[in-house]
Structure 1
Amino acid sequence: MDGQTLIDSTREQLSKLSSIFAMSMVMFDRTDETEIIQFAADSVAALGAARTEGAYLLRDDLTRVGDGSTELQSRLRSLSGSDGPVQVAGAPWAWAFALRAVGGHAGYLVVTADAEPAAEEQYLLGTLAQQAGAALNSARLSRHERRTTAELRSLNDRLRVLNEQLTTAVSGLERRRLAYERITAVAASGAGEAGICSTLHDLTGLPVAIEDNFGNLMEWCGPGRPTPYPRTSPRRRSELLTAARRSGRPIRQRDRLIALAQPRNEVLGVLVLIDPDHRAEEHDLFALEHASVVLATELAHRRAMAETELRLRGDLVHDLLTGTDDESARFRSSALGHDLSPPHRVLIIQWPGATSSEVVARTVERVAATMLENGVLLSQRGGAVVVLTPSPGWDGMRRWQEMYRSMRTRLQNEDGAIGVGGAADVPSKLPRSYSEATRALRIRQQSMEPNGITVFDNLGIYRLLATGDGEHDRELREFVREWLGALVDYDAANRSDLVTTLWQYYECGGNYDATARALTIHRSTLRYRLRRIRELTGRELRDVETRLNLHVATRAWQILRGSE
């Protein structure tokens, strides 16, 4: 080989090497393994007379890419990542070039030729295979890097979410801790329902209401207090409390979140968050729940204290009404926070229209707290509420009337009566006031207007009729018998109402129309009855002395009938 030929051969070799490097740059720019090995396979023909028989990628196993014989796979496996000859039908020369790089073996490029290529061409083919292997390794590293980057990004996103959740959880726990400590502290401070209400409002920023089990407002904290406070029907209230008991957690009722103050099976109160915008969060519900537990404890304690005090007051009232010495009475009442030094009166209150005497007693306490400055002692006896209260001054009657009207308004029922006994200047005289209150109440209930208030001091002649003394009652019965005996016997034999008619006639001042309306009878019927009364008694009903005695006798008959 002369010098020119050597130079030309060297130039051609360098040109082909430059082509290989250009091919290498193309392969390194690609990230798909199939595209890389296919490009290398297509580039074989540009390096000489050799041609590509097949290209194989090593993944889990050797996988053929494009056209090629699958029969070569077993031979290629036996090469174990090295270059070597292979058998290809119809090809005098066939060689498998391993696609190797720093990362390891990536597959094979199998080429064939009609004759064994020169060493320079084989070198170029090996270089192409080496560059293809490096490109494949780079693609795999790039893919692994992308996958790793994506995994890291996903992990970072998850970590950020977890951090946010952790921050939220820590913040929620901190707010719960603060709510627990503040509500517990207010319970220990003795601030009562007002303190619990105010603290819950501060913690949640929402208006707070405390209701009793009937739906009456006990406390309100925050803006927007409704006036008057709305109340539902007893049936709906019962349904609401039943639903809340079954839930065991706060429940929503339209714009209200409700939690029960229920120490055992009895609902003592209801704690309410006013939340029309539904912005209460989980920590607000926790504060509501904990506050309801503290409220239940507070109400249970207050009820126990009230029951103890009520029992003590009841025992004291019982002793005062049956008779006790002044010194011990004043000492015991002082221990209960009541001063027995001023003159006192006994009131007896019966309200058949109320749901129970307990309701009447609670109403009396509320009324007394606003109207009677010095407080009261009260007890329940025989379905009635007995009240011991300091005697008011010159405007006493007005006070009693105001008390009756306030009771009627609060109970929303007019079917009630109050008897007021005379003033007792020392505790040992209270039994007499109690007896007088009993007689005043009985006279009121037997009168034309059984609902209202009667003060013993204002009874007039009725004070002589109703003394409660056994001997006096016997004389009173004889007096009634003397003047009304014939009428009483006639009514008993004929099931008539002549005595009642006569009583009503005198109570109406002898007015026919008023009497007929009161008795719900016709005027002619009234005339007939009065004529019959004259016949049976033999007395002139308009005679002044007769009229007085008959009127007194009918009133005494009413009182005696009420005591039977």
Structure 2
Amino acid sequence: MTLEEFFDNLVGELKGRRIVPGEPSRAVRGIAPEDDAAGWLGPDEVVVTARETLDDGFLDDVVGAGAPAVVWRTKAEPAAETVLMLEERGMGLAILPPGVPLRRVTSLSRERAKSAANGAGDGLLRYSHGAARALLEPSGATSSVEALTERLAGLLGRPVVVEDPVGRLLAEAAPSGVPPGAAPSLHDFLEENGLRASRGSGLDDSRRERRDRYARLPGGFLSVTVERWRVGDRELFWTPVGTGTPAGYLWMDLDGGPLEPQDIVVLYWSVRALEAELGKERVRLETELGVRGDFVDDVISGHHGNMDLLLQRARYLGADLADGAMAVVVDIDDFAGYLGRRRLKEPAIQELKRRLADAVRLQARDLFSNFLLGPRSDNVILFVGPSEGVAPDELPGMALDLAARVQRYVKGLLPDLTVSVGVGRFKGNPSALSDAYSEAEVALEIGHRIQGPSSVSTFEQTGTYKLLFRVLQEEPEELETFYAETLEPVVRYDSRYGTELVHTLTTYLGNDASTARTASELFAHRHTIRYRLDRVRELTRLDVDKSEDRERLTLGIKAMQLLGRSPSKPSSFSDR
């Protein structure tokens, strides 16, 4: 294609304006959007730029690289001096409105369109080379997911959003010329509708289009995996980044029209570029989590050297624990059973743990400014310290808020997985951090034994449970003996005859030994409640009307809960 043909198409199809004709017979072999990377411009490539002015230095650089012309995306009129500089250098100049998508510029020639339609040809291959260079070559020390997303939006001429494996929307970008506030951004639309590719359940099947699972070039020699979603009158799609377990997801709006062959080429290279950038972010996160996990292990075991060194390490990791902290433990319920059902391999197991750690970190960051997080086995441990505006006595309530947030987030992220949370007491002395963790672990274990999965328990609320739990840990046979002497006969009776003596006794003791309140809560007559309590006395030789016996029965119930010995076949059959 000659420069004259290129300018004719620019004026005719994109409403551009030719200012300086340049050398009309000069060959145009490609389009090169301006970039900071070295080698971004090749011989006979037209430069596309949105800079404010075309200065001498810039023009000398593009002339030296062999550019035949400049397409200036601007609303301004070029100054006479600028026109003169271009004429002196033998370069062409065209003005193009900033709102025209860059992808329209790169698909101007009829030859290129024809070769794209046929799925082959030098035009599409040159475009593929240019897209790969634009997306891959700038990656390096100064690269980032955000910068790559900006370049991608410019090449596609559409809004794009990058989502990570745990549902965070890491970056968003829109092509230049899109007026802000003209319509809800793609990012805001995803947030408002709770749409996430990583969750899969973000959209019900009635609104999800699964028929078109690949975007292919004509001829089929190149394809990109996509999933189209329609929400209301808006159509969008996402494509996974990476093979196997995705490193993330790329969202794109389809309101600008269907995908063209050039778009598919850009998507093909963008997935590879994003995989590299997200991989670097993942390595950074894994390294950071490893360092944090080592710190937590040292705190728990007490192998941290002197206290000054411990606090120094904490500050290095972003937390000031000099004024003490409280511990929070987030644990996956029945992790072994979950793995058995899912039959996950080791890489997937590690990815699951990373997802949990990242989910906890995201929620903690919204509540606390002074915390340190570290993964350990199948749980995540936080040490939360006071900060400006947050006193120590406020931390327990905030920790419960964190627990609720984490459980909701995990349920949305991994619907068939649940977590329990244990919260310790605040320790004002940093030398007691290991005690803070021990309390949180005790609260977690007691809560799980009593409440089951998805429990949230604080050490303050455990009461006498923690005393019995210590007995269970140190001398389990003692707790077994106590249980056998108190509640075991009642549990055995309920299991055999389908009665509800244990439930009645628990309700009665929870209502401060009030027969009337117990009868009201259980929708039973007071005489029925009295009869059941008499059966308990016959089985245990402990009388609920005596304070000492009531105390033993109360502890017997707690021992039963800690040992997991509730009646095996509770039913609504009448008492016998």
TM-score tier (shorter): 0.5 to 0.7
CA-to-aligned-CA distance 1:44-67 (integer Å, 9 cap, x gap): xxxxxxxxxxxxxxxxxxxxxxxx
Q: Which residue number in structure 2 is paired with residue 538 of structure 1?
A: 541
Aligned CA distance change for structure 1 residues 344 and 352 (closer, same or farther; 3 Å): same
CA distance in 2, matches of 1:555, 1:433: 24
CA distance in 2, matches of 1:269, 1:243: 17
Q: Match of 2:153, as an amino acid? A: H
| Identical pairs, percent | 25
CA distance in 2, matches of 1:513, 1:283: 78
8 Å contact 2:422–2:441 — kept in the other structure?
Answer: yes
Q: Which has the higher contact order (CA 8 A, sep 6+)?
A: 2
CA distance in 2, matches of 1:548, 1:286: 75
Shift of 1:465: 3.4
8 Å contact 2:494–2:500 — kept in the other structure?
Answer: yes
Q: Aligned to 1:343, which of 310, 324, 333?
A: 324
8 Å contact 2:112–2:124 — kept in the other structure?
Answer: no
8 Å contact 1:250–1:258 — kept in the other structure?
Answer: no
Shift of 1:243: 5.1
Q: Aligned to 1:209, which of 144, 150, 161?
A: 161
CA distance in 1, matches of 2:525, 2:355: 41
Q: Which residue number in structure 2 is paired with residue 250 of structure 1?
A: 224
8 Å contact 1:446–1:562 — kept in the other structure?
Answer: no
How is 1:258-269 mapped onto 2 (pairs within 5 angstroms)? 258-262=238-242, 264-269=243-248
Give TM-score, length-normalised by structure 1: 0.58
8 Å contact 1:244–1:260 — kept in the other structure?
Answer: no
How is 1:379-528 mapped onto 2 (pairs within 5 angstroms)? 379-381=375-377, 383-390=378-385, 393-412=392-411, 416-425=419-428, 429-447=432-450, 451-467=454-470, 480=483, 483-484=486-487, 487=490, 498-499=501-502, 501-510=504-513, 527-528=530-531
Aligned CA distance change for structure 1 residues 522 and 332 (closer, same or farther; 3 Å): farther
Q: Aligned to 1:370, which of 360, 366, 383?
A: 366
8 Å contact 1:180–1:287 — kept in the other structure?
Answer: yes
CA distance in 2, matches of 1:552, 1:489: 17
CA distance in 2, matches of 1:371, 1:469: 35
Is 1:317 equivalent to 2:296 in the alignment? yes
Aligned CA distance change for structure 1 residues 206 and 332 (closer, same or farther; 3 Å): same
Shift of 1:295: 0.5
CA-to-aligned-CA distance 1:184-230 (integer Å, 9 cap, x gap): 36532545322222221123321112234577644332363212243
SS of 1:276's equivalent in the other structure is: coil
CA-to-aligned-CA distance 1:519-554 (integer Å, 9 cap, x gap): 899987755432211223334313344333422332
Aligned CA distance change for structure 1 residues 338 and 174 (closer, same or farther; 3 Å): farther
Q: Match of 1:183, as an amino acid? A: L
8 Å contact 1:330–1:341 — kept in the other structure?
Answer: yes
Q: Match of 2:374, as an amino acid? A: L
> Which segment drifts farther, 162-171 or 269-278?
162-171
Aligned CA distance change for structure 1 residues 353 and 370 (closer, same or farther; 3 Å): farther
How is 1:151-230 mapped onto 2 (pairs within 5 angstroms)? 165=111, 179-184=131-136, 187-212=139-164, 217-222=169-174, 224-225=185-186, 226=189, 227-230=192-195
8 Å contact 2:111–2:123 — kept in the other structure?
Answer: no
CA distance in 2, matches of 1:372, 1:238: 40
Q: Match of 1:348, as an amino acid? A: V
Q: Match of 1:165, as an amino acid? A: E
SS of 2:145's equivalent in the other structure is: helix
Q: Match of 1:372, as an amino acid? A: F
Q: Which runs of 5+ in 2 are unaligned?
A: 1-107, 116-121, 175-182, 230-234, 339-351, 567-576
Aligned CA distance change for structure 1 residues 166 and 202 (closer, same or farther; 3 Å): closer
Q: Match of 1:297, as an amino acid? A: A
CA distance in 2, matches of 1:302, 1:316: 21
CA-to-aligned-CA distance 1:60-112 (integer Å, 9 cap, x gap): xxxxxxxxxxxxxxxxxxxxxxxxxxxxxxxxxxxxxxxxxxxxxxxxxxxxx
CA distance in 2, matches of 1:435, 1:257: 47
Aligned CA distance change for structure 1 residues 384 and 287 (closer, same or farther; 3 Å): same
> Which segment drifts farther, 220-229 or 505-514?
505-514
Aligned CA distance change for structure 1 residues 179 and 248 (closer, same or farther; 3 Å): closer
Q: Which residue number in structure 2 is paired with residue 122 of structure 1?
A: none
How is 1:56-75 mapped onto 2 (pairs within 5 angstroms)? none
Q: Which residue number in structure 2 is paired with residue 66 of structure 1?
A: none
CA-to-aligned-CA distance 1:365-414 (integer Å, 9 cap, x gap): 21112112123322243x44333333662212220221122123323379
Aligned CA distance change for structure 1 residues 376 and 215 (closer, same or farther; 3 Å): closer
Shift of 1:422: 2.8
CA-to-aligned-CA distance 1:270-290 (integer Å, 9 cap, x gap): 223312242654444333322
CA distance in 2, matches of 1:359, 1:167: 44
SS of 2:161's equivalent in the other structure is: strand
Aligned CA distance change for structure 1 residues 561 and 373 (closer, same or farther; 3 Å): same
Q: Match of 2:421, as an amino acid? A: I
Q: Match of 1:360, as an amino acid? A: L
SS of 1:364's equivalent in the other structure is: helix
Aligned CA distance change for structure 1 residues 201 and 229 (closer, same or farther; 3 Å): farther
CA distance in 1, matches of 2:523, 2:139: 61
CA-to-aligned-CA distance 1:132-165 (integer Å, 9 cap, x gap): xxxxxxxxxxxxxxxxxxxxxxxxxxxxxx9963
SS of 1:188's equivalent in the other structure is: coil
CA-to-aligned-CA distance 1:446-494 (integer Å, 9 cap, x gap): 4468744222134334343333586676665665555446546767887
The CA RMSD over aligned residues, in Å, is 4.5
> Which segment drifts farther, 450-459 or 437-446?
450-459
SS of 2:140's equivalent in the other structure is: helix
CA distance in 2, matches of 1:218, 1:410: 17
Q: Match of 2:445, as an amino acid? A: R
SS of 2:371's equivalent in the other structure is: coil
Q: Match of 1:400, as an amino acid? A: A
Aligned CA distance change for structure 1 residues 518 and 316 (closer, same or farther; 3 Å): farther
CA distance in 1, matches of 2:521, 2:143: 56
8 Å contact 1:313–1:377 — kept in the other structure?
Answer: yes
- Of Structure 1 and Structure 2, which has the larger fraction of its residues in helix? 1
CA distance in 1, matches of 2:311, 2:547: 51
Q: Match of 1:296, as an amino acid? A: E
Q: Match of 1:394, as an amino acid? A: D
Q: Which runs of 5+ in 1 are unaligned?
A: 1-161
8 Å contact 2:420–2:454 — kept in the other structure?
Answer: yes
8 Å contact 1:442–1:562 — kept in the other structure?
Answer: no
CA distance in 2, matches of 1:448, 1:515: 21
CA distance in 1, matches of 2:419, 2:113: 63
Q: Match of 1:202, as an amino acid? A: G
8 Å contact 1:541–1:547 — kept in the other structure?
Answer: yes
CA distance in 2, matches of 1:256, 1:458: 48
CA distance in 1, matches of 2:110, 2:499: 90
CA distance in 2, matches of 1:498, 1:357: 42
Shift of 1:347: 2.0
